[in-house]
A and B are shown apart, each in its own frame.
Chain A
């Protein structure tokens, strides 16, 4: 009896392992023969849906033209799941060749021994044209002089408004020389509790989304986040207070903001025609199928400018030996070339990552497909500053996020909240 069951169990386990799928040769360190042999590049991306179909098309094109450098795309999740996968890679020594890394991770990956720094590759390639990338992208991809990745995506924030609601309220549309007072007045006029309509909406989940919306306002007022060597918080300056007070007044006095503490409804509510203005990026445009919208650059404060904030992400290359490194660089160079990238942008509704893309044939198609996106492209020139590239930034962001939410919910006033946040941020910056 016992023997029979033991036997069955053994057979079973053997069957299970024998049938355990094909392949799986233990991770990424397959292929890549001696110099000159065919090489397989593993390409971790977060593309899904139409963007995925488009990417696969390009990968197929490349693979057909480059039998010696075959690219294998692997979906790796998004945001923190992707981070888990990348951290697992770093911890286990089983890395891909290229991975899409969010801009906020740049400061941390910079010191990883697995990273392939690109300075040499770029300098030795006269056709790469590093300066063709937007300044904000180059800033986000450079840590202490090391170029840690090739820009993968760029966007910025601008006003996206609902013209129909403006017409209904007999208001002129947002103009390029609006100030925040104009914005506030318009939002107030567009708010109607009876119809549950709001003038503005703000993501209030205390995440980076909450923070970077406000950081744009901080810069428009002429303020800064941290000091020059990223050791001290300076956002609780008079400019910071001015920027946060606008939020405070709009939220607690005018009640003209739809405050979304779960950051999940804003697009849907705008799409239903209940919000007059959003401050958001080009990625949202394809989702607004049920409303017409207009796009305008950010407002400013008296004495400030119409700066915006940009959020670039990077393709980061890992070191799996010189052959794969070279092949990976060649591929990513081709992939981010204007001809290819404009095709991707067509499906992802993100901005062209190279300035020369504006002259490429597909650019007009891109503009036609996403009405209003041209304003975003031009707005990239207003991305003059960038968020500090330091491993401590997430702590600074957390402190700011809580401060902004507490002001929006009417639990604190702008100066106190910012001072408290500055205290927390400084403590984090000082810690090892």
Chain B
């Protein structure tokens, strides 16, 4: 590889280069990060501000950034507009199932594509990737037809107008397989080989060695899958026929007509819908810490 690794690191190891004069009372990266973060957060701030305004304030322009008062009523009012409790439960159930399903199936498949040389591996992988190259507008109607078939021939729980219809098509996604394939390949293969020589099965290697080292990638996969499933709108619109099975995104449509939008209520509902996403992210980002354990080899 590159340079030889010293066996005995010196006593003091610093993350920054030594002998740097400190001009500022804080790390200079803050100079970039803080304004950058504010810019990134700007739309969220705008949403929050709109969600606590009155309607006439929201219709004003240039858009008001500092509202006159805090109109908290928008939140309970938004909840009253639809059975959001049901929508939340539906969305939560569907999303959690899809996330777990992806974590399981994509790990298995990702590992196979990364480390197991099996017949047709590259071709099959390319074919899978190819399924992403067709715009969804083209495939949405035949997908509905498949789900309809599944509903009549296998089980109504996965047919049209069921939560199963929202789960099954997305329970394993190429994104996860591709992502994990890449990450698994960056791990030192010697660890795995050593374990196999010691008699471990493929699955054993996967669960005991590979996955524990891939927590950041798994956290990423979980967070992104959660996000995309939570925010999916078009497929639930097509596949669901009964209000009892609506997801939150469908419920949000309660606030928009063809010509007007109840901006304040819509933003309030959007903010509430985003909270689980932010919680999931905060949990996932705990895995994004430098894990010294990844370096297990010398020489």
* A joins B in a complex: yes
Residue positions of A touching B, CB distance < 8 A: 1-2, 5, 9, 12, 16-28, 42, 46-49, 51-52, 72, 74-79, 81, 84-85, 87-88, 91-92, 94, 268-269, 271-272, 283-284, 286-287, 289-290, 348
**Other A-B pairs beyond A25-B156, A283-B259, A287-B59, 16, CB < 8 Å:** A21-B245, A23-B161, A48-B253, A48-B255, A72-B242, A75-B243, A78-B256, A88-B140, A92-B141, A94-B148, A94-B160, A269-B61, A272-B61, A287-B259, A287-B260, A289-B55
B159: chain A residues at CB < 8 Å are 24, 26-27
Taking a contact as CB atoms under 8 Å apart, the answer to whether A24 and B61 are in contact is: no
* Known interface pairs A16-B164, A88-B140; A1-B59 also in contact (CB < 8 Å): no
Taking a contact as CB atoms under 8 Å apart, the answer to whether B162 and A24 are in contact is: yes
Taking a contact as CB atoms under 8 Å apart, the answer to whether B157 and A20 are in contact is: yes
B253: chain A residues at CB < 8 Å are 48, 75, 77
Closest 8 CB pairs of A and B: A24-B162, A20-B164, A21-B163, A20-B157, A24-B161, A26-B151, A283-B259, A27-B160
A72 to B254, CA, bound (A): 17
B141: chain A residues at CB < 8 Å are 84, 87-88, 91-92
Interface status of B167 (Cβ within 8 A of chain A):
yes
Q: Please report whether the interface of chain B is mostly helix, strand, loop or mixed according to DSSP.
A: helix
Q: Which residue of A lies closest to B266 (CB)?
A: A49
Residue positions of B touching A, CB distance < 8 A: 55-56, 59-61, 81, 90, 93, 97, 100-101, 104, 137, 140-141, 144-145, 148, 151-152, 155-165, 167, 201, 203-204, 207, 234, 237-238, 241-245, 250, 253-260, 262
* Known interface pairs A88-B141, A284-B259; A24-B56 also in contact (CB < 8 Å): no
A12 to B97, CA, bound (A): 9
B104: chain A residues at CB < 8 Å are 9, 12
A142 to chain B, nearest CB (A): 24
Taking a contact as CB atoms under 8 Å apart, the answer to whether A49 and B61 are in contact is: no
Taking a contact as CB atoms under 8 Å apart, the answer to whether B167 and A20 are in contact is: yes
A47: chain B residues at CB < 8 Å are 257
B258: chain A residues at CB < 8 Å are 46, 78-79, 283
B145: chain A residues at CB < 8 Å are 91-92
Q: Which residue of B lies closest to A78 (CB)?
A: B258
A195 to chain B, nearest CB (A): 14
B192 to chain A, nearest CB (A): 15
B140: chain A residues at CB < 8 Å are 84, 88
Q: Could you say which of B151, B237, B243, B262 contacts A81, with CB atoms under 8 Å apart?
A: B237
A269 to chain B, nearest CB (A): 7
A49: chain B residues at CB < 8 Å are 81, 254-257, 260, 262
